[in-house]
Structure 1
């Protein structure tokens, strides 16, 4: 085929793929320097030892022994603002103190395997990695291993104690660090290769959040207290009644008061998955690739701590100090008391979704190469996340009134969905020792617009990347990449029941009930990779 015809074919393939839907959460954001530069569209042109993740069949293209040292640094910045719409009312309360407020500084943290969460608050995080590959001259087999971050989300809002984002994550750390990945590539013929890899990961899941519960029922009850209870907090009629005033001033219920803090910290130290890949290169200018990255029902174990503020503790104490209050509390399933701090051990099974990616490589002329990939990640497994505690949580016993029957479990709705994502990569070869790389990835989120929140502030985003490869010598290459991803969302009041629904019983979990929420996210990435062949 003539170069011009190949160029037309490349353009046609790109145009045909463009209208499809895309989906992405945290996958492939911090995995490989070369892949990032090409919009993660590398399945048909796997990036050296990075083939372990993107398509292990690419390992069979390596000759001799080699190693790669790679490092990346990334910063995540996310912000949100809150506004009361006209007619704002939560059970008679019409002035939310978060109205007109915006979230403050955001930093990053890092979970260190074997150590835990250090006290660092970083402007960004940097993660080094090492990969190695072995191929005996003339052998169709190549063996390899690599270390890399396959999933990452990090937000720390603890700098400002009054940050309104504290009610959906003072700290959020979700990471999956592959520290060993025994892999093999097999060259079946000059045009067909196969590969398999077993990434073994350390997974960490940390959520630390303050909690408040604005909803209609709590608001109505708070107004009832205001009308019934004297300022000193009690009266003789109430003492012989249900004790709604017995908690004193601190026991007066408000839908806008901070009620508690919850910290969950869990890990899965050894969690293997399976990657399978195939690569077909019938022509120097054309290739097809496909990879299946297996998922896992990752079993986490760790610890929790619930710290209750005076509001609910004093209210329950006053209820149980009256004549009829204990009877009413028993009917409603309320605890006899709420400790200031309750902690223990916990577990959860959180799916790591499987991922399928297919790609095409076209090199219509010697100086130009175009990659286009389509990927699918099974995020609909995150419909709800359930956490199992080693005892009944007294704070959750109060929530029995809201239809939560088992206070030893906490189920957080997610409602994510699975879609298809596209990535585009362009490589230019202006010189035999220099390769220029450009990537574009329109990442339509797997979080529906009525499920997005500040725990996972990931709306539709656009990822733009640029990088280069420089051949330092016959045996050594240097790759450098810079990327920028940005997106924003606007959620009107009462449209998202993971964040701002104002309904009678919806308490888990809508801390911004009735408020309009506008938010954005910006991710900046820089990475380099040094490859040495022996």
Structure 2
């Protein structure tokens, strides 16, 4: 009955990386690409071709440098409404009914340092890159520092935020700190390229959690029937000790049960990008890029802080005459420490993806781009997390047939998706170009698997931008983007969020509650490219 808390602990680390799934890609990678809806495979943007299609690097001659800055804010408002017939083992009044989640802040995880304490309404991320082409050579070399994926949600400002039970802090980012790239000009119309981005990947989660489970609620109602004031009796002591934990040990399925804090990273995670760019006509170009995946091993620490309710309940159970026998038969722990910490690892695959695109010059002044992409999220069928010791809260899961309290395995059910993107560039003058992009992004997370740890529905990205070229050969690119997606998850429809079956084995902090909300991302990016 107490298995829920550690199920959450592992589920948190599973679901947070799921924030990558489709929506967070390319948010802070290139102002130019964002302005074109990321439909740039057939027209890769200079040094930033390293990510989008490394073959495009071979279009550069001489030596170039790029500086970028990105500012982004993420908002995730949610509304919680319990079903009229909610009944969690006799408990029917969930205090979050009718509540809405509060403000959201952002942060950036720094390699080898962690997440700073400062939380801001938006976050700024710099980037830079270089390219080199020797005079007369068909080879061009380069490197780029950039964020290929990012997700940051901090709900810690409001201690009573109802969304805190599914992530007070969620931090995910993939920082490519070195991207050695080589591109070759095969002919005037054909170019190829290979890039090897090396990433520092971080994700951290801090969450409160509770266990609105019918079995737990039934235990709470038995306690109230046997000892309404929360104090045990002689009969209780001579039997199972349900009330031996005193008032603190009275079980309430709607009450906070514990807090989990995870912080994991992979310091060296190389992948590779292979690209081809074919420009047979002045008005036509075709591009193809394959971005390889990896089986990344994350390492980090966990901290479990059990609230008095669980600790006192187990202590009372084991201080009775028959309670220890029940505990021994079911494999429950003799006690739950207030704090338990240690090291953890997880092998989390980074899926490969392929993207193809076309560029058409409708006139000398109007350019049209379109891309199609596919990402292999099917490999997220299930994930396993290893702990360096037996976690006491996981030991309670033995009652449900989970024998190994050193690990947790979760079925994710992610799906591979096909996405499309579109961009337009209007060359107003030889120096000034205006851009617009549209990208309907499908989420890799099925609607019946989504949680507030990864609140990633289908979204639509809309962008506007411009480019200005200077006589010196330098150029400035500026972009503003807006992404929004909404969701409405009816009560009992999603067993990662709001199911209320008697033996739910996946964390459902909002049992029998309809959760509706939206994800909103506002983005500004600018880059300055110059020869030197």
The equivalent of 1:5 in structure 2 is none
Q: Does 1:293 align with 2:291?
A: yes
Alignment match of 2:50 (pick from 49, 52, 56): 52
Residue aligned with 2:362, SS: strand
Residue aligned with 2:327, SS: helix
Distance 1:296 1:97 in 2: 43
Contact 2:224 2:230 (8 Å CA) reproduced:
no
Distance 2:471 2:175 in 1: 31
Distance 2:254 2:395 in 1: 20
Contact 2:230 2:250 (8 Å CA) reproduced:
no
Contact 2:193 2:274 (8 Å CA) reproduced:
yes
> How do 1:459-470 and structure 2 match up within 5 A?
459-470=457-468
> How do 1:160-179 and structure 2 match up within 5 A?
160-179=158-177
Distance 1:261 1:511 in 2: 13
Alignment match of 1:363 (pick from 361, 383, 391): 361
Query: What displacement does 1:413 show?
Result: 4.1
Distance 1:90 1:520 in 2: 27
The ranges of structure 1 where at least 4 consecutive aligned residues each deviate by more than 6 angstroms after the TM superposition are none
The equivalent of 1:11 in structure 2 is none
1:432-481 Cα distance to aligned partner (Å, 9 max, x none): 10011100001121111101110001101110001000012232100000
The equivalent of 1:6 in structure 2 is none
The equivalent of 2:95 in structure 1 is 97
TM-score, normalised with respect to structure 1: 0.94
Residue aligned with 1:431, SS: coil
CA RMSD of aligned residues (A): 1.1
Distance 1:332 1:510 in 2: 23
The equivalent of 2:23 in structure 1 is 25
Distance 2:317 2:170 in 1: 35
Contact 1:426 1:437 (8 Å CA) reproduced:
yes
Alignment match of 1:454 (pick from 452, 455, 460): 452
The equivalent of 2:480 in structure 1 is 482
> How do 1:131-146 and structure 2 match up within 5 A?
131-146=129-144
Distance 1:201 1:290 in 2: 22
The equivalent of 1:78 in structure 2 is 76
Residue aligned with 2:328, SS: helix
> How do 1:83-232 and structure 2 match up within 5 A?
83-232=81-230
1:4-52 Cα distance to aligned partner (Å, 9 max, x none): xxxxxxxxxxxxxxxxxxx823211211110000000000000000000
Residue aligned with 2:116, SS: coil
The equivalent of 1:15 in structure 2 is none
Contact 1:214 1:507 (8 Å CA) reproduced:
no
Residue aligned with 1:411, SS: strand
Further displaced range: 111-120 or 501-510: 501-510
The equivalent of 2:398 in structure 1 is 400
Contact 2:167 2:206 (8 Å CA) reproduced:
yes
The equivalent of 2:64 in structure 1 is 66
Q: Does 1:242 align with 2:240?
A: yes
Distance 2:70 2:271 in 1: 23
Query: What displacement does 1:90 show?
Result: 1.2
The equivalent of 2:303 in structure 1 is 305
Query: What displacement does 1:414 show?
Result: 2.9
1:59-105 Cα distance to aligned partner (Å, 9 max, x none): 11111110101110100000111101221111111111110111101
The equivalent of 1:18 in structure 2 is none
> How do 1:247-266 and structure 2 match up within 5 A?
247-266=245-264
Contact 1:412 1:509 (8 Å CA) reproduced:
no
1:338-392 Cα distance to aligned partner (Å, 9 max, x none): 0000001111111111111000000021010000000111122223332211001
The equivalent of 2:17 in structure 1 is none
TM-score, normalised with respect to structure 2: 0.95
Gaps of 5+ in 1: 1-22
Residue aligned with 2:62, SS: coil
Residue aligned with 2:325, SS: helix
Contact 2:230 2:243 (8 Å CA) reproduced:
no
The equivalent of 1:280 in structure 2 is 278
Residue aligned with 2:87, SS: coil
Residue aligned with 1:260, SS: strand
Gaps of 5+ in 2: 1-20
Residue aligned with 2:200, SS: strand
Contact 2:223 2:230 (8 Å CA) reproduced:
no
Residue aligned with 1:160, SS: coil
Query: What displacement does 1:304 show?
Result: 0.5
Distance 1:45 1:484 in 2: 22
